[in-house]
Structure 1
Amino acid sequence: MNNWFNAFYAQIAQTDLSPWLETLPSQLRHWQKDAAHGDMPKWEKVLKNLPQTETQHINITDKVEFGLANELSTGLDKKTTHLLKRMMPWRKGPYFIHGIHIDTEWRSDWKWERLLPHISPLSGKTVLDIGCGSGYHLWRMRGEGANFVVGIDPTDLFLCQFQAIKHFNPDPLVHLIPVGVEALPELKAFDTVFSMGVLYHRRSPIDFLAQLKAQLKPGGELVLETLVIEGDEQAVLMPTDRYAKMRNVWYIPSCEALKLWMTRVGFKDIKVVNEDTTTLGEQRATDWMETESLEDFLDPDDKSKTIEGYPAPRRAIFIAKV
C-alpha cells in the first residue's frame, strides 16, 4: 500500500498537477492510518496472492479485457476467481481477466457507449474521473487515447478492486487516488473531467459543480451524468428519507434545473446528450454482487416508481465547457 502512490507523485511533479503535492501526501498518510483499521489488511492479502501472469492480450477499446483464458492453468483460474470474489461486491464493470468474467452489478459499458459519441476526443488528454468507483471508466478513457488518467474515490474497497485489475495490466498512466472531491485543490489542470453518478449524493450540489469547474483548464470539458426528474427549471426532487432505498440522495433536479445550476456556476455550451430510464438489464444482482439491486428498489406493482413512490431512476448525460 505504501508504494501505490509514489509513482503518481513523481509523474505529476513536473506537470500542471504539481500543486496537488502540497496537500495530497499528507491526506494519503491519514487515509492509510484509517484504512489499516478496516478490511484493508484482508484485501491487501488478496492482492498479494494474485498470480503473476504474462498478460499478452489487452483490450480497452471496446471492453476491459486483460489476458486470455489459455494464459492461466485450470487450477490458477479457480484460485484467481476465488481471490477476486473475496472483494465482492463488484458494482461497476464488467471486467474480463484471463477468461474470468467479473459480471458486475452495473453494465457500465452501456453508459460509456451512450456518452462516447458526444464527448471531445480524449487522445493526448489529461483526464479526471470524480467518483470513479473501481475504475472501469478509467480504462475506457485510456482506451480512447487519454495520455494520463486519474480517478478519485474515497472508498477503500474500490481502490483495492482497481489495484486487483491493474495487477493484470500495470499501466503507469492510469491511477486511482482514494480521496473525495472536497480534498482537491483548485487545480485547473485537466482537459476533461468526468463525474458520473455523484451529484445526487452531494448535500450541496452547487458547491460540487463549482469543485468540478475548478479542476478544468480554460476551454476544458465536463461530462456529467446524474439522476434527473421530468419538469421545468424549478423542478427538483428532495426525498423525505430514502430514494430507491438509498439514504444518501439529496437533490434530483430536472434537466432544465441542472442546466440553470451549471449556468449559474459558470459553465457554457451546456448540452443534454442523452436521457434514459435505467433498465433492469443495466443494473441487477449477479454472482459478483449478490445483494439487492434495482429490481428490489422499485415498486413491485409499478416499475415506473421507486419502492417509496418516487419516479423510477432516470439518468441524463450533460456536456459543458468552461
Structure 2
Amino acid sequence: MKLPSWLAFEPLRQRLVEAGMEEFADHIQALCAERLNQPTNGDLKRWVAALEELPAPSERWLDASGSAVRVDGAAADDPAALRETLMKFHPWRKGPFDFLGVEIDTEWRSDSKWDRIAGSIDLNHKSVLDVGCGNGYFGWRMLDAGASWVLGMDPILRYVLQFEVFRRYAGDQPRHDVLPLLDTDLPPKLHGFDVVFSMGVLYHRTSPIDHLRSLAGALKPGGNLILETLIIDDDQPSVLVPEDRYAQMRNVWFLPSLPMLQRWLRRTGFDDITPIDVTTTTQDEQRSTPWMTFQSLPDFLDPQNPGRTVEGYPGPRRAVVTARAPKRSRPRRSA
C-alpha cells in the first residue's frame, strides 16, 4: 500500500536513515500505509477534504514561541469560513492554537503543563520521540525549545489530521511528524532517540511495565525519559486499580503513588529518577470549550466534594518525572 500524498513521510524517512534507523523507517511506513488505507476510515476522507479548504501556505508561517501555536501571515479571505473548516476537526483537546486570528480554545491548556516542565529539561540539539502525542502541540513547543527533530506517535487519526492542519505552514522541512502509531509498534531495542516523552499514556496501558520497557528500548544509552502520569497521593509504594471507571474513563488501569512509579522505573532499568512536578488538575487547565463541547473535568468530579471523582476516588493528580536510560547494559546478577 502507498502512503497518502498529504503525509509528507520522505523527509522523516531520510532523518531516520541518517540516524541508523532504516529498518524502523520501513516498518512504520508499512504500518502507516495499512492504517491510513482502511476502507472503514470514512471520517478520514472528510478531514482530508477539509485540509484542502485551508488557506494556501504561501505568505503564512508557523510560530511556536508563545503559549498558542500560531499560523501567522496573510489574513484569510473569510474568517467565518475558516473557523467552520477548523471546526470540522472537532474535538480539539490539546493546545491552544491560533490560526490567522481564529483562536482554538482547546479542552486542555497544555501550555500550563509545558510551563511547569520546560525549565527542567534540555532538548537542545536532541532527537525526540513523543509517544501518545495527540495533535502534536507539545512537539511544536519542543522544537521551539531547541529539539533537532520530533517524531510524534498517536493512534487516533483525528489528531494526526489536526497536526496536518498546522504542519503545512511549517515549511518544506518542518522537523516534526505525527504518525498513527502505538508504543507497541516500537522495536524492543531501537535505541534511536535522545529523549522520549510519554505524557498521559501510562495509566491507559494494561501493562505499565511493558510501556516503560518500550520507552527504555527507544532511547539511546544514557538518553532521557520525561514521563507524566496520574498518581495517587501516598508516601508508600502503592497503586490504585479502579473497579470500573476512573473520572468516567474506562481505560484507566493503574494509578501508582510516586514511590511506586519510581520503583517501576528502577525495575525497567532507569537511573537518576527525579520528580520535577506534582500538580492537581483543576478546571482552569481542563474544561469544556466551544472547540471541545463534550464532557470534561467538571463533569467527572463529585459536585459535593471536588477533591474526589464521581466514582469516589481521589481527584486527578499528575506527576512528571525524568529518568535516564543506562549508558550500557548492566551485568546480570548471579543466582
The superposition leaves residues 162-199 of structure 1 with CA deviations (integer Å, 9 ceiling, x where unpaired) of 00111232453110111101011131111110000000
The superposition leaves residues 119-142 of structure 1 with CA deviations (integer Å, 9 ceiling, x where unpaired) of 1x2111101100000000000000
- Counterpart residue number, 1:284: 287
Cα distance, 1:14 vs structure 2: 2.3
CA RMSD, aligned part only? 1.6
1:176 to 171, 175, 178: 178
Cα pair 2:62 2:166 within 8 Å, conserved: no
Distance (Å, rounded) in 2 between the aligned partners of 1:239 and 1:280: 22
**Identical-residue share of aligned pairs (%):** 41
Matched, 1:319 2:322: yes
The superposition leaves residues 243-296 of structure 1 with CA deviations (integer Å, 9 ceiling, x where unpaired) of 000000000000000000100111000011110100001000001001100000
Cα 1:145–1:100 change in 2 (3 A) is same
- Counterpart residue number, 1:40: 44
Q: Secondary structure at the match of 1:123?
A: coil
1:226 partner amino acid: T
Distance (Å, rounded) in 1 between the aligned partners of 2:184 and 2:230: 21
Aligned length: 319
Matched, 1:27 2:31: yes
Q: Secondary structure at the match of 1:191?
A: strand
- Counterpart residue number, 1:136: 137
1:79 partner amino acid: A
1:214 to 202, 217, 220: 217
1:302 to 297, 302, 305: 305
Cα 1:140–1:10 change in 2 (3 A) is same
Distance (Å, rounded) in 1 between the aligned partners of 2:272 and 2:145: 23
- Counterpart residue number, 1:83: 85
Gaps of 5+ in 2: 326-335
Structure-to-structure mapping, 1:1-322, within 5 angstroms: 2-3=4-5, 4=7, 5-34=9-38, 37-56=41-60, 58-68=62-72, 71-73=74-76, 75-119=77-121, 121-170=122-171, 171-185=173-187, 186-322=189-325
Cα distance, 1:231 vs structure 2: 1.5
Cα pair 1:202 1:249 within 8 Å, conserved: yes
2:131 partner amino acid: I
Cα 1:300–1:219 change in 2 (3 A) is same
Distance (Å, rounded) in 1 between the aligned partners of 2:70 and 2:214: 34
Distance (Å, rounded) in 2 between the aligned partners of 1:98 and 1:91: 19
TM-score by length of 2: 0.91
Distance (Å, rounded) in 2 between the aligned partners of 1:227 and 1:124: 30
Cα pair 1:58 1:66 within 8 Å, conserved: yes
The superposition leaves residues 199-229 of structure 1 with CA deviations (integer Å, 9 ceiling, x where unpaired) of 0000000010000000111111000000000
Gaps of 5+ in 1: none
2:126 partner amino acid: K
Distance (Å, rounded) in 1 between the aligned partners of 2:213 and 2:87: 38
